[in-house]
Amino acid sequence: MTRLADIPSDFYLKYYRQLPQIDVKEVRMLWHCAYWDGPLDGILLYQGKLHWFQIFYTLRTDEMQSRVDEENIAWNDYFVRYLIIELSEEQIKEEEYWHGLFRQKVGTHTDYDENGHRTIGALAPKDMWSEFYEAYKTRTPRDLSNNQIVGWFEYFWGSIRQDEDEDSR
């Protein structure tokens, strides 16, 4: 296996294919920690164990997948690729602790349901949020550099109608 610290800077161009590709049906996102137009990293379930996932590649427009739906509308589907990284028991406990505190003091909107869909859960009252964020400032930064990479998977990001997609270029 490969440690996260051992991957080269141009890993996403070709080297990732040396790692096992894991079918997205074999993973279940549980929650994300960072989000920008989609999950960037967080915790998932793979083979009955919690793992860290983190984005490493967003497909470029020339790599999108085209399809035509049942109403004969053409779509461009976009995907992202994530690494799956093993966590130690101590790291799992740490992530569960902070996620539990986040859910209690901020909200459950970072969670995913059994089908891998984001649940837009309830938010805690805004005056409680600082109780999490102030405590989180004291957290030792997460270091996964010596953790083993299990593999990678591709995840559906979204679709744009081809006629709308061409107008935006």
pLDDT tens, 140-160?
A: 999 999 999 999 998 877 778
pLDDT in tens, 7-65: 877 776 677 888 899 999 999 999 999 998 889 999 999 999 999 999 987 665 556 77
Residues whose CB is less than 8 angstroms from the CB of residue 67 and which lie 6 or more positions away in sequence, other chains included: 74, 75, 77
**Could you tell me the pTM of the whole model?**
0.85
Bridge partner residues of 78 (DSSP): 158
User: CA of 107: how far to CAs of 34, 99, 135, in Å?
Assistant: 14, 10, 15
